[in-house]
Structure 1
């Protein structure tokens, strides 16, 4: 595949192009997906896009893409490199998934030279090569500054609030003038990431801190309607090191907002759960999913199942194991255990999905009235954009901070498990209580109303003339400038 990718690149390089974009995502599903969505948007402006990754991870993001993106992925040039991957064991912790770190590091280590070769080829014929990369891939793109016609931009797959929290924890910087300000409840990162991952981040940061990479700007997958305070804070921090640095808040990406209330007319190959949703009443279903890097122990799964059953609320539960290094590996798979007879007893009320499910289509469906989530940034943005309130159950990394944004600051969700009690079992009675609060109470109706109103405003923000669309247009104009 590597030779084929190089041959295709050489053919396309025989004719010059004013601007080409090279996208380098971090090899974790939510990061891969966000930069794939961005690639789709940029390519729709008739700008050639080259998506650089391992053969495995490129196949992963394409296989999990929603149908609308799959129909247009041929517009993007994928560069697949057969990189050795660590076969991770089944996870045994709910902190940052350290079982995946060897796979991440193997990919990153082996991508630097292929990336350099691609840049060498493209820089010969393009007037400008625009590199858009995940900050966790700084070591891969470290040579980008050695090419005079190349510019480097960081695409942040996490919230600016997370970056503010990181700076606050390291430097002691605050927003506000007293300890009782509305941001005081944002938890520390101390217990949400492992020392191993913290060291990895520090290693990647050094390429910018030591000016090995000259960053021309920052792209955030967020909207000023949500996080203007934190965006302004990050811009000020960035300008302390480079007064000319630029920043664009271009989220939520239009590829997300387009899924609100799509036509119920199904096409061949769409997931069976969508047919089930078609038969349910408006806002009656609680969607439950904890992402790709998170798992629950069987004891907690049983409590969650019992609480759902007692609540009497309709639900669609995606119950699958966390990703391993190779998501296509058909070896040992941990199959989460439900209480005996559970699925038979709730078959009139709920459906359990054991494989990959189309989250955007589910959240955009009119029957979906709530989302029990780990609060990964991808899931949060999708939930907000499509007007679905959150039942927050954060696990690790940026998730506890995102949960505070959703529930305390934006007030479009409820907290099922407080981060301070992360090591405690959530009982079935607590699950029942909070599910009913979100789905069957006046409080829940008010939260849902706020979520729907905010979702409407965010969808306007990505439409022609909206604040996020204007920033996206500004970025496109900037990279294609004469």
Structure 2
């Protein structure tokens, strides 16, 4: 497909929600659009734009110059510290931060919408659904065409839709039988988060929906979603994922991360990567059991141990509990495993030839990255859409095993269960088949990007928005 000069194309304004998983996927998608010559504007607080750029993986630093960042200044964020003893695993300490940021973004983004739309015949607005106020602001400007970008999979949107409208599933395979399916929200997030979501995530006029998913993973769910006339109502649906790169490129100068140097020395497909994302704080008792399980399994591993993000990640500090708890453990597993404190280059780790499996909280970005790289998963869902993602991985796609079942989320999982899950994937005959299916799924997903369905869906979106010029 021939692309005209960037300056002659319709501008795109991207407005992410200020949480790591949302920032990450929308920045990846922005870079994907800009790689096709589209003029992309990325607007958030200066703090969160810095976070998104700092943690970006898989793109060269030069690629960031193809995006116009609008670093909106806001007052200093209120203090925010994760609570490992909270009765709920959701990072509720961030809710006041999100309210604060959204409040201070409203007026500047409104001004930006008017400014960009007045300098072009049309403007494309792509926003996170939790930033629905942006669509409200855009509704009064006829030249703006709006799309919401879903950071969760299509099956989760379907489950939420069916729960909220009291519909019943029409296809038995959607049920993930025989495993019970958690409620999309009420079982997975605390009440204050439900209140926040209802306040900021509501239906607004839009031309379409973008999903960071692939037809290789969710074709049945995308098809079913498209049939929900009362929800879709003429909106276009585009499955453009994975939005993260398949060929990982180091975007920073200087030496590689030490964990990658360690991986280079390990045999092919021999390492379990363990990481629970940016929104999770694991209690001390559970860290002890994970450590024992990793040690007893006798399998090579990389384990990322960190608290959930604070409001401003530049103020991260290594928790004291980690220093004392893991000091002796690291000595005992020297040569067999590596503990990483703080942020790790996850895409690089998953793409590495020595990585065989990923023990994960099952955030959708992590799921997409693992599946795209053909890596089997050991699922440990913690909150939000993660329990349903774990069911998708283990019961529907069958490219992973469940480590901790959702029904036992309030219990400390013993080291024996951790050891058992690792061995099931890395040693047992069942694990060979799981890893084979994961490798096959990864090949299908990559084929979708390299000229297949995902590539066609992206070009269909680009062609569609070009008609608004």
Q: Distance in 2 between matches of 1:354 and 1:388?
A: 22
Task: Note if 1:77 corresponds to 2:73.
Answer: no
Q: Distance in 2 between matches of 1:41 and 1:249?
A: 14
Asked if the contact 2:306/2:319 (under 8 Å) is kept, the reply is no
Asked if the contact 2:58/2:347 (under 8 Å) is kept, the reply is no
Asked if the contact 1:374/1:399 (under 8 Å) is kept, the reply is yes
Task: Note if 1:86 corresponds to 2:78.
Answer: yes
| Equivalent position SS for 1:50 | strand
Q: Residue by residue, what CA displacement relative to the aligned partner does 1:137-175 show, whole Å, maximum 9, x if unpaired?
A: 002342111111110100000011111121222223232
Cα drift, residue 204 of structure 1: 2.3
The residue that corresponds to 1:63 in the other structure is: 54
Cα drift, residue 91 of structure 1: 2.1
| Equivalent position SS for 2:59 | helix
Cα pair distance change 1:178/1:24, threshold 3 Å: closer
Question: How many pairs does the alignment contain?
Answer: 456
Task: Note if 1:245 corresponds to 2:235.
Answer: yes
Cα pair distance change 1:184/1:112, threshold 3 Å: farther
Match of 2:443 among 456, 468, 477: 456
The residue that corresponds to 2:310 in the other structure is: 324
Range moving further from structure 2, 243-252 or 126-135: 243-252
Map 1:364-375 → 2, pairs under 5 A: 364-375=351-362
Q: Distance in 2 between matches of 1:177 and 1:17?
A: 46
User: Which protein has greater RCO, CA pairs closer than 8 Å, 6+ apart?
Assistant: 2
Task: Note if 1:414 corresponds to 2:398.
Answer: no
The residue that corresponds to 1:133 in the other structure is: 127
Task: Note if 1:307 corresponds to 2:293.
Answer: yes
Match of 2:31 among 40, 44, 48: 40
Cα pair distance change 1:70/1:173, threshold 3 Å: farther
Q: Residue by residue, what CA displacement relative to the aligned partner does 1:283-315 show, whole Å, maximum 9, x if unpaired?
A: 100000000000111111011101111110000
The residue that corresponds to 2:270 in the other structure is: 284
Q: Distance in 1 between matches of 2:318 and 2:354?
A: 35
Asked if the contact 1:33/1:65 (under 8 Å) is kept, the reply is yes
Cα drift, residue 232 of structure 1: 2.1
Q: Residue by residue, what CA displacement relative to the aligned partner does 1:349-397 show, whole Å, maximum 9, x if unpaired?
A: 0110102110000000000000000000000000000000000011111
Asked if the contact 1:288/1:318 (under 8 Å) is kept, the reply is yes
The residue that corresponds to 2:195 in the other structure is: 199
Cα pair distance change 1:334/1:152, threshold 3 Å: farther
The residue that corresponds to 2:379 in the other structure is: 392
Q: Distance in 2 between matches of 1:331 and 1:349?
A: 27
Q: Distance in 2 between matches of 1:34 and 1:408?
A: 25
Q: Distance in 2 between matches of 1:179 and 1:44?
A: 38
Map 1:335-350 → 2, pairs under 5 A: 335-336=321-322, 337-339=324-326, 341-350=328-337
The residue that corresponds to 2:341 in the other structure is: 354
Map 1:76-115 → 2, pairs under 5 A: 76-84=67-75, 85-92=77-84, 93=86, 94-115=88-109
Q: Distance in 2 between matches of 1:146 and 1:430?
A: 55
Q: Distance in 2 between matches of 1:178 and 1:148?
A: 43
Cα drift, residue 179 of structure 1: 10
Asked if the contact 1:307/1:429 (under 8 Å) is kept, the reply is yes
Cα drift, residue 89 of structure 1: 2.0
Cα drift, residue 112 of structure 1: 1.3
Cα pair distance change 1:183/1:234, threshold 3 Å: farther
Cα pair distance change 1:16/1:393, threshold 3 Å: closer
The residue that corresponds to 1:176 in the other structure is: 170
Cα drift, residue 273 of structure 1: 0.8
Cα drift, residue 18 of structure 1: 4.0
Range moving further from structure 2, 21-30 or 437-446: 437-446
Cα pair distance change 1:356/1:332, threshold 3 Å: closer
Q: Distance in 2 between matches of 1:404 and 1:301?
A: 24
| Equivalent position SS for 2:126 | strand
What do you get for the CA RMSD once the two structures are aligned?
A: 2.1
Asked if the contact 1:16/1:126 (under 8 Å) is kept, the reply is no
Asked if the contact 2:110/2:137 (under 8 Å) is kept, the reply is yes
The residue that corresponds to 1:5 in the other structure is: none
Cα drift, residue 257 of structure 1: 1.9
Q: Residue by residue, what CA displacement relative to the aligned partner does 1:440-472 show, whole Å, maximum 9, x if unpaired?
A: 1211111001000000010000112x0111010
Match of 1:188 among 176, 183, 187: 183
The residue that corresponds to 1:6 in the other structure is: none
The residue that corresponds to 1:11 in the other structure is: none
Cα pair distance change 1:388/1:106, threshold 3 Å: same
Task: Note if 1:257 corresponds to 2:257.
Answer: no
Q: Distance in 2 between matches of 1:312 and 1:178?
A: 40
